[in-house]
Amino acid sequence: MMYRLIADAAMVVHFAFLVYMAVGGFVAWRWRRTLWAHLLVVAWGVLSIVTGVECPLTLAEDWARRHAGQAGLPASGFIDHYIEGVIYPEEYTNLARLGVAVLVLFSYVGYVLRRQ
């Protein structure tokens, strides 16, 4: 039971992380100090896409699911399992990534304009 809770918590935190990566720049419009945290989150997202490094949240969820007697995440990882093919078709992955990048850039431009 505890392993399942850990796995579910890791999944929820992972979704929250991805949402924050997409819209955290807008949060910084109100709370400026959060910009640094958002920059780190975006850097991690870019690093994981470019290098393919596996997210610790994915590893934690997979580990907990296996210890709970469930099937772990597929080798393709969290996004391929929960998002691609579920929220948007797999062939639109690059378009979805571009959309998030544009959203982040727009939030940063807005941040700079609001500071002036």
Q: What percent of the chain has pLDDT over 90?
A: 80
**Cα separation of 112 and 80, whole Å?**
34
CB-CB neighbours of 68 under 10 Å? 17
**Cα separation of 64 and 61, whole Å?**
5
For residue 92, the SS3 value is: helix
Hey, which bits of 1-116 come out as E strands?
none
The burial class, CB within 10 Å (0-12 / 13-18 / 19+), for 69 is exposed
Mean pLDDT across the stretch 43-54? 92
Instruction: Output 76 or 99, whichever has higher pLDDT.
Output: 99
Mean pLDDT of the chain: 93
**Cβ contact 9:93 at 8 Å:** no
Rg of the chain in Å (alpha carbons)? 16
* Widest CA span in the chain: 55
Instruction: Output 81 or 25, whichever has higher pLDDT.
Output: 25
Instruction: Output 75 or 7, whichever has higher pLDDT.
Output: 7
Domain boundaries, the chain: 2-115
pLDDT at 11: 95
pLDDT at 33: 94
Mean pLDDT across the stretch 21-36? 96
pLDDT at 52: 86
